[in-house]
A and B are shown apart, each in its own frame.
Chain A
Amino acid sequence: MLAITLIVATYLTVVIANGGGLVDQILANQIRFDVTSTLVRDPSFNRLSEAEREKLLEQRIELAIHAKGLDQPFIVRSFIYLVDALTLRLGQALVIKSNTGSRAVIDIIVERLPATVALFTTATIIYSILGILVGLVMARKPGGFFDRFMTMLAVITGVIPPWFFAIIFLLIFAFYIRLFPFGGFVSVPSPTDPLLYAIDVMFHMVLPLITWIIASFPFWAYITRNIVIQTIGEDFVTMAKAKGLSQSAVLRRYVLRPSLPPIITNVALALIASWQGAIITEVVFGWPGIGNLLNLAILSTDAPVVIGAAVVYAYLLVATVLILDIIYTVLDPRLKVG
Chain B
Amino acid sequence: MSSAPVGIKSVMHEILHSKSGVAGVVILALILLTSLTAVVFPDNIVERWNDPQAWLDKPRLAAPEWTTFFTGENPSRTIIVKIQDFKRDVQRIEQLNVTKIELRARVVYDYDTPPSELNIMINLVSEARSLLSVEWIRPDGSTVELLREVAEPGTKAVFAYIDRTVASNVNAYLQKLGVSQSLPIGVVLFSSEKSLASGVPKLIKSHDVKPSRPYELVVVATSESKGFDVEAQLNLLGVVYGLCGTDNLRRDIFIGIVWGAPIALAFGLVAAFVVTLIQAIFGAISGYYGSKIDEIIQRITDVYLVLPFLSLLITIQFIYKTTIWTLLIAVIALSLFGGVTKSVRSMALQVREEPYIEAAKSYGASKRRILFLYILPRLLPYTFANITVSVPAYVFLEASLSILGLGDPALPTWGKLISEAFSGGAAYYGYWWWIIIPSTFIVLVSTAFALLWYSLDKVLNPRLREE
Contact (Cβ within 8 A) A152 B450 = yes
9 tightest A-B CB contacts, nearest first = A155-B450, A9-B306, A159-B392, A19-B319, A170-B427, A5-B302, A171-B427, A8-B303, A159-B393
Looking at chain B, what size class is its interface with the partner chain?
35 or more
- 30 CB < 8 A contacts A-B: A1-B299, A5-B299, A5-B302, A9-B306, A9-B307, A12-B307, A13-B312, A16-B316, A17-B311, A17-B315, A19-B319, A22-B319, A141-B467, A142-B466, A156-B447, A159-B450, A160-B443, A164-B399, A164-B418, A167-B421, A167-B427, A167-B435, A175-B428, A279-B310, A279-B314, A280-B400, A280-B403, A298-B311, A299-B404, A310-B308
Residues of B near any A CB (own CB < 8 A):
20, 299, 302-303, 306-308, 310-312, 314-316, 318-320, 389-390, 392-393, 396, 399-400, 403-405, 418, 421-422, 426-430, 432, 435-436, 439, 442-443, 446-447, 449-451, 453-454, 461, 463-467
B396/A164 in contact, CB under 8 A: yes
Instruction: Give the Cβ gap from B427 to chain A, nearest Cβ, in Å.
Output: 4
Q: Roughly how many angstroms separate A174 CA and B422 CA in the complex, as a whole number?
A: 14
Could you say which of A141, A160, A306 contacts B396, with CB atoms under 8 Å apart? A160
Within 8 Å of chain B (Cβ to Cβ): is A301?
Answer: yes
Q: Is A233 an interface residue (CB 8 A)?
A: yes
Per the 8 Å Cβ criterion, residues 222-281 of A in contact with B are: 226, 229-230, 233, 276, 279-280
Q: Is the CB of A279 within 8 A of B307?
A: no
Given A5-B299, A280-B400, A298-B307 contact (CB < 8 Å)? no
Tell me the complex Cα distance, A170–B430, Å. 10
- B338 to chain A minimum Cβ distance, whole angstroms, is 13
| B314 touching A152, Cβ below 8 Å | no
> When chains A and B are docked, how far (Å) is the Cα of A180 from the Cα of B310?
29
Q: Mark A100-119, 1 if CB is under 8 A from B, else 0.
A: 00000000000000000000
Q: CB-nearest residue of chain A relative to B334?
A: A16
* Most chain B CB neighbours (cut-off 10 Å) among A164, A168, A175: A164
Chain A interface residues toward B at CB < 8 A: 1, 4-6, 8-9, 12-13, 16-17, 19, 22-23, 141-143, 151-152, 155-156, 158-161, 163-164, 167-168, 170-171, 174-176, 182, 226, 229-230, 233, 276, 279-280, 283-284, 294-295, 298-299, 301, 306, 309-310, 313-314, 317-318
Q: How far is the CB of B368 from the nearest CB of chain A, in Å?
A: 29
Q: Is the CB of B465 within 8 A of A143?
A: yes
Residues of chain A contacted by B400 (CB below 8 angstroms): 161, 163, 280
Quick check: B404 and A280 within 8 Å, CB to CB? yes
CB contact between A168 and one of B315, B428, B439 (< 8 Å): that residue: B439
Q: Tell me the minimal C-beta distance from A136 to chain B in angstroms.
A: 15
Nearest residue in A to B312 (C-beta to C-beta)?
Answer: A16
| A318 CA to B305 CA, complexed, in Å | 11
Cβ of A310 and Cβ of B403 under 8 Å apart? Answer: no
Using Cβ atoms and an 8 Å threshold, which residues of chain B touch A182? 427-428
Q: Are A13 and B403 in contact (CB under 8 A)?
A: no
Question: B307 to A160, Cβ gap below 8 A?
Answer: no
Inter-chain contacts of B389 with A (CB < 8 A) = 155, 158-159
A182 to B422, CA, bound (A): 12
Contact call B318/A298, Cβ cutoff below 8 A: yes
**CB neighbours of A283 from chain B (8 A):** 403-404
User: In the bound complex, do residue A167 and residue B302 qualify as a contact, i.e. CB atoms below 8 Å apart?
Assistant: no
| CB-defined contacts of A142 to chain B, threshold 8 Å | 464-467
Asked whether, in the complex, the Cβ of A301 is within 8 Å of the Cβ of B465, the reply is: no
| CB nearest neighbor in A for B397 | A161
Please, which residues of chain B bring their CB within 8 A of the CB of A12?
303, 307, 312
Residue of A nearest to B432 (CB): A171
Q: For the complex, what is the distance from the CA of A142 to the CA of B467, rounded to whole Å? A: 6
Q: Cα distance A283–B314 when bound, in Å?
A: 14
A233 CA to B427 CA, complexed, in Å:
48
**Contact call B450/A19, Cβ cutoff below 8 A:** no
Complexed CA–CA distance, A295 and B400 (Å): 12
- Docked Cα-Cα span, A19 to B390, in Å, equals 28
Cβ B311 vs Cβ A4 within 8 A:
no
Contact A284:B306 (CB < 8 A) given known A143-B467, A156-B446, A171-B432: no
